[in-house]
Amino acid sequence: MSAMTPSIKHQGKRGMRVVIGIVLLAILLIAMAMSTKIVKIGSGADTQTKEFEPEAYGKKQFPKTQAAIEKRAVDAATLAAAIAKDQDAAGKQYGIAGGGIGPEMSVKFSGVAGKEDSGVYEVKVPGLPDSLVIRVQTGPAINGTDLRDATGDISFGQFTNQIDYQNAGYAINTEMKKQVLSKVDTAKLTGKTVDVVGVFQLINPNGWLVTPVKLDAK
């Protein structure tokens, strides 16, 4: 009997280690289960990278952009006088630092549309100097990212890459065409009085290329 005692003791110790190991493993598994958060795909907690959807983005963003530009829009006569006096000061007072070399200026005016050139109309606004040329984009191609950059609320860091950031601008332009320009016969504006609210990038003080967010013709 005494010869078998060490073996029994050894087996007992080994069995105890196995039990302790099982207990520790069970504790670990329980802790992992308690710390694991189940996230439903599509819920607010689902942070996995999603593919950018331009159409949905434009539809959601354009009304916000439109409202912001309308709120900031300055009468063209007031804006022209401020720019003529001090372009940099006018840019700081009325503009938003955009993604380009000049600030984005929100403006409103009424004038008579001249001849159309590739979807762009020159608009003669009463009370403005003859040296100032105002042109309005009416499509089908809407160039630039003025609508994207006009509010200062949209930045590159909100997107996965440069392509998505660029597509965001295109998406807003596209939605503007659907909601604004599609309601106007843009092929027959020459000679008509147009009421415009829009935005342009201030680079040339005597040349404003305006992208509209509102355009009415009569």
With respect to residue 156, please indicate whether it lies within any of the assigned structural domains: yes
| Cβ–Cβ < 8 Å for 197, 147 | no
pLDDT of residue 206: 97
Question: Is 42 within the bounds of a domain?
Answer: no
Residue range 87-118, pLDDT digits in tens: 999 999 999 997 668 999 999 999 999 999 99
- Are 78 and 144 contained in the same domain? yes
What percentage of the chain exceeds 70 in pLDDT?
81
Domain that includes residue 6, residue range: 1-36
Q: Does the structure show a pLDDT above 60 at 5?
A: no
| Same domain, yes or no: 93 and 29 | no
Residue 184 pLDDT exceeds 60: yes
User: What is the pLDDT, as a whole number, of residue 12?
Assistant: 59
Task: Kindly state whether residues 73 and 26 are assigned to the same domain.
Answer: no
48 located within any domain = no
Residues 71 and 22 in one domain: no
pLDDT above 70 for 38: no
φ, ψ for residue 136, nearest 5 deg: -125, 130
Looking at the structure, tell me whether residues 113 and 173 fall in a common domain: yes
What CATH number should be reported for the domain holding residue 85? 2.40.50.420
- 23 and 93 share one domain: no
Please check whether residues 59 and 147 belong to one and the same domain.
yes
Question: What is the separation, in whole angstroms, between the first and last Cα of the chain?
Answer: 115
- pLDDT value for 9: 53
Residue with tokens 């078998």, as numbered in its chain: 4
Nearest to 57 by CA among 165, 146, 218, 180: 165
Q: Do 59 and 24 share a structural domain?
A: no
Does residue 191 belong to any structural domain of this protein? yes
Q: Is the pLDDT of residue 46 over 50?
A: no
State whether 94 and 23 are in the same domain.
Answer: no
In a domain, 31, yes or no: yes
Mean pLDDT within 132-144: 97
Q: Compute the distance between CA of residue 20 and CA of residue 148 in angstroms, rounded to an integer.
A: 62
Q: 153 and 111 in one domain?
A: yes
Please give the tally of structural domains in the chain. 2
Encode the chain in three state secondary structure.
CCCCHHHHHHHHHHHHHHHHHHHHHHHHHHHHHHHCCCCCCCCCCCCCCCCCCHHHHHHHHHHHHHHHHHHHCEEHHHHHHHHHHCHHHHHHHHEECCCCCCCEEEEEEEEEEEEEECCEEEEECCCCCCCCEEEEECCCCCCCCHHHHCCCCCCHHHCCCHHHHHHHHHHHHHHHHHHCHHHCCHHHCCCCEEEEEEEEECCECCEEEEEEEEEEEC
pLDDT in tens, 119-128: 999 999 999 9
Q: Does any domain span residue 130?
A: yes
205 and 176 both lie in a single domain: yes
Residue 60 sits in the same domain as residue 31? no
pLDDT above 60 for 217? yes
Cα 67–74–122 angle (5° rounding)? 95
Q: Would you say residue 65 has pLDDT above 50?
A: yes
